[in-house]
Chain A
Amino acid sequence: MTILSLVVAVAAIVSMGSAAVRALGPGAGDPFERALRGLLAIVLGLGIWSGAYAVARFVGVASGLVVLDLVLAAAGVVVLVRFRASPTEPGRGLPTAPLWLGAALVVAALLVAAIFATLTAGAPEGVDDAWIMWTLRARFLARDPDLHHAFSDAAPLWHVDYPLLLPGLIAQGWRVLGGESCAVPILIAATFTGLAVATLTAAVGAERGGASGLAAGLTVLGAPILVFVGAAQIADVPFATFLLAGGICLARAFAGAEDRGPVALAGLALSLACWTKNEGAIHLIAFALVLAILKGRRHLVAFGLGALPVLLLLAWFKLAYAPRNDIVSGLGAGSALSRVAEGGRYREIGKALVLEPWAIHHWSFFPAVLPLLIVALRRRRRAAGWSGAGAVGLALAFSWAAILVTYLLTPYDTRWHLASSLDRLVTQSWPSLVLATFLALPPLTAAPRVSAPTPGRLS
């Protein structure tokens, strides 16, 4: 039964994800593009699988969920058959990567995998936040047919109003494997950490050639906090992966085609980020703003349609189950105005923004990427108007403006709030920032040129 459940679950994830990725339209036949589509299918499929589980639980279905997986798998197959893939475009002759760069990425990935394994061996339940919030909620989902207990106000639980993508995935994993093994949250954490790196590498490789893709993968691995937060079994790396998927799709919408499929897919990815953590709403609005400003109403509608199903699920959760958000409930009009007038808050935020990225515990040399992005975007925009990289960069800039305003208005002590959350918020944006940077840069290697044979010279 376990093997059957596992096979059906994998079929549901892959077929629903693959069906969604059809919205990208025809793609080039190069390996990076094929890898990107496969990885996006897994990312989105995992999100859809968790969302479908939540819908089943909300309507009172707590057992026989293998049937739900069968229905999902069949629905995905129907979509794949109904909307057959367009003929593959010929390869675009993108530059290839030098072998040593591929070897460097493999070595870095192995080192990070070893670090992930060591961290996990030291803390099989993840960090405190993992079992206090995310895995604990999964326990409630897995053990209690009545969902309301998981959100009871009787016993205070940190961030009870957080949505259910990660707890839903863990609970589903336990169901499929037939027990509450700590291997499930570990596997989910490892999967999303790997997906974040691999999807970024494939996306940049598909657009800018292999060397750029591999360099982007190396860069994202170079921020120590990615693997630390990934192994912590909290929701920030899954969030970062959905945000990255949204950024990749948004960039595709600026690649010249008028097709709104990628925009709808960006909407789906961003809505899954909303279903992972509350701050997803900030990024969703930022993406919508970028589309409204740079693309217009038709693309904005496509984005909204892609996001709508999961946003409806989120609204259902917020209205029927979740208590009020602690930050929102602490935002009175009068108190918000008085906080805006507090000079100390600006100082604390400025200090954290300057010092935190360089703090030895977290970041190392990552801020070196930011000036590179700004310079590359300015050059590119002068040359060719708004590009996908510019759109993703602008969306991140809007998001971070809103995040900084949130810090300004927070009902908590600003220093404590910054210390407890800023590093995770940067982790969420880090893969997308690297994506925007490497899309803004020209390919790191020139396309292989065929030089004319030199008469009389032996090669």
Chain B
Amino acid sequence: MEPLPARTERPRPARGVLALVAVVAIGGLVRDAIQLVPWRKSVETRRIDDEFAELIHALPPDRELGIVVDEPLDLNVTYRHARWALAPRVLHPELSDPGVRYVIAALSDPARVEELCRRRGLRRVASFNGNALLLLVREGS
């Protein structure tokens, strides 16, 4: 009688480790899916470049600009957006660099703009986004 062909046994995974893998993977993936909804609602999707498009069009070719905002620069959203949209221009706080001619102002209080212009010898060149962004220039430039 001819011998029957050899049989290959099906591999059996180690159950304990696979159970742990299942706990980690299924738990994590379900949580991924659940977290998706609140995450989407909290995301800011405004396109920063659009916000600054008109201002960029009106800007002179100066490499360095000043910027004035309501809060310290590190905390201010408009400053972050300006830094992104205006790259590779270098933004100086206010007029700290004497070589800077143009200043971008994003101040919530219009009275502060007038006070700034008087104090630093600036005049308004143009406004954008309903006065949310102002382009100022040093008098005599």
Residues of A at the B interface (CB closer than 8 Å) are 95-98, 101, 104, 108, 111-112, 115, 118-119, 122-125, 128, 131-132, 136, 139-140, 143-144, 149-150, 152, 154-158, 211, 215, 218-219, 221-224, 227-228, 360-361, 363-366, 368-369, 372, 441-442, 444-455, 457-459
Query: Is the CB–CB distance between A139 and B87 below 8 Å?
Result: yes
Chain B residues, CB < 8 A from A118: 36, 40
Complexed CA–CA distance, A455 and B2 (Å): 9
- Is residue B6 within 8 Å, beta carbon to beta carbon, of the partner chain? yes
Cβ contact within 8 Å between B27 and A222:
yes
With both beta carbons as reference points, the residue of chain B lying nearest to A97 in the complex is identified as B11
Determine how close the nearest CB of chain A comes to the CB of B95; give it in whole angstroms. Answer: 12
- Beyond A221-B28, A451-B6, 10 extra complex contacts between A and B, CB < 8 Å: A98-B11, A118-B36, A132-B80, A219-B25, A221-B25, A222-B26, A223-B24, A365-B28, A368-B23, A450-B7
Question: Which B residues lie at the A interface, using CB under 8 A?
Answer: 1, 3-14, 17-18, 20-29, 31-33, 35-36, 39-40, 43-45, 47-48, 63-64, 67, 73-74, 80, 83-84, 87-88, 90-93, 97
Contact B88 A123 (CB under 8 A): no
Instruction: Evaluate contact between A221 and B12: CB separation under 8 angstroms.
Output: no
Chain B residues, CB < 8 A from A227: 32
Within 8 Å CB of A224, what residues of B? 28-29, 31-32, 35
Provide the residues of chain A in CB contact with B88, threshold 8 Å.
139-140, 143-144, 149-150
Contacts of A360 in B (CB 8 A): 31
In the complex, the chain B residue whose C-beta lies closest to that of A157 is: B83
Contact of B5 among A131, A211, A453 (CB under 8 A): A453
Q: How far apart sit A152 and B35, CA to CA, in the bound complex (Å)?
A: 38
Residue in chain A with minimal CB distance to B63: A149
Judge whether A453 and B7 touch: CB under 8 Å. yes
Instruction: Sort A-B residue pairs by CB-CB distance and give the 7 closest, nearest first.
Output: A222-B28, A445-B11, A144-B88, A222-B25, A453-B4, A222-B24, A139-B87
**Shortest Cβ distance from residue B99 to the other chain A in the assembled complex, whole angstroms:** 10
Query: Could you give 7 example pairs across A and B, Cβ below 8 Å?
Result: A98-B13, A101-B13, A221-B28, A364-B28, A366-B24, A441-B17, A459-B4
The smallest C-beta distance from A329 to any residue of chain B, in angstroms, reads: 16
Decide: A155 near B90, CB < 8 A? Known: A219-B24, A224-B28, A366-B24.
yes
Q: Which of A108, A136, A366, A450 contacts B83 (CB 8 A)?
A: A136
B90 touches A445 (CB 8 A): no
Q: Find out whether the CB atom of B39 lies under 8 angstroms from the CB atom of A119.
A: yes
Complex: how many Å from CA A370 to CA B9?
Answer: 32
- A453-B3, A453-B4 given as contacts; is B23 within 8 A of A444 (CB)? no
Given contacts A149-B63, A215-B17, A451-B6, contact A108 B25 (CB under 8 A): yes
Minimal Cβ-Cβ distance residue in A for B67: A155
| Beta-carbon contact of B11 and A95 below 8 Å | yes
Question: Contact between A448 and B73 (Cβ–Cβ < 8 Å)?
Answer: no
Pairwise interchain contact A451-B11, C-beta atoms closer than 8 A: no
Query: A364 to chain B: which residues have CB within 8 Å?
Result: 24, 27-28, 31
> How far is B35's CA from A118's CA once the two chains are assembled, in angstroms?
11
Question: In the bound complex, do residue B27 and residue A372 qualify as a contact, i.e. CB atoms below 8 Å apart?
Answer: no
B42, chain A: closest CB distance, angstroms: 9
What CA separation (Å) do A18 and B4 show in the bound complex? 46
The answer to whether B74 touches A444 (Cβ under 8 A) is no
- Bound CA span A174–B83, Å: 19
A149 to chain B, nearest CB (A): 5
The smallest C-beta distance from A181 to any residue of chain B, in angstroms, reads 12
Q: How far is the CA of A454 from the CA of B7 in the complex (A)?
A: 9
Known: A118-B40, A122-B40, A140-B88. A154 touches B97 (CB 8 A): yes
Query: Given contacts A155-B83, A365-B23, A365-B24, are A123 and B29 in contact (CB under 8 A)?
Result: no
CA distance A262 to B33 in the complex (A): 39
| Inter-chain contacts of A128 with B (CB < 8 A) | 80
**Across the two chains, which residue of chain B brings its CB closest to A131?**
B84
Residue of A136, A155, A372, A459 near B7 (CB, 8 A) is A459
> A122: which of B43, B47, B73, B93 is its contact (CB, 8 Å)?
B43
Smallest beta-carbon distance A31→chain B, Å = 16
> In the complex, which of the residues A123, A444, A445 has the most CB atoms of chain B within 10 Å of its own CB atom?
A444
Instruction: Knowing A131-B48, A140-B88, A154-B92, say if A223 contacts B28 (CB, 8 Å).
Output: yes
Cβ B25 vs Cβ A445 within 8 A: no
Q: Return chain B residues, CB-CB under 8 Å to A369.
A: 20, 24
- Say whether A215 contacts B28, CB under 8 Å: no
Which chain B residue shows the least CB distance to A128?
B80
CA distance A119 to B37 in the complex (A): 10
CB contacts (< 8 Å) of A451 on chain B: these are: 6-9
**Complex: A155 Cα to B3 Cα, angstroms:** 83
Report the minimal beta-carbon distance from A32 to chain B, rounded to whole angstroms: 15
Bound CA span A161–B80, Å? 18
Q: Which of B35, B64, B67 has the largest count of A CB atoms less than 10 A from its CB?
A: B35
Contacts of B92 in A (CB 8 A): 154-155
Cβ A125 vs Cβ B7 within 8 A: no
C-alpha gap A446/B29 in the complex (Å): 28
Contact of B18 among A131, A143, A444 (CB under 8 A): A444
Least Cβ distance of A430 to chain B in Å?
A: 11
Q: Which residue of B lies closest to A138 (CB)?
A: B87
Question: In the complex, which of the residues A101, A108, A361 contacts B29, with contact meaning CB atoms closer than 8 Å?
Answer: A108
| A228 CA to B40 CA, complexed, in Å | 12
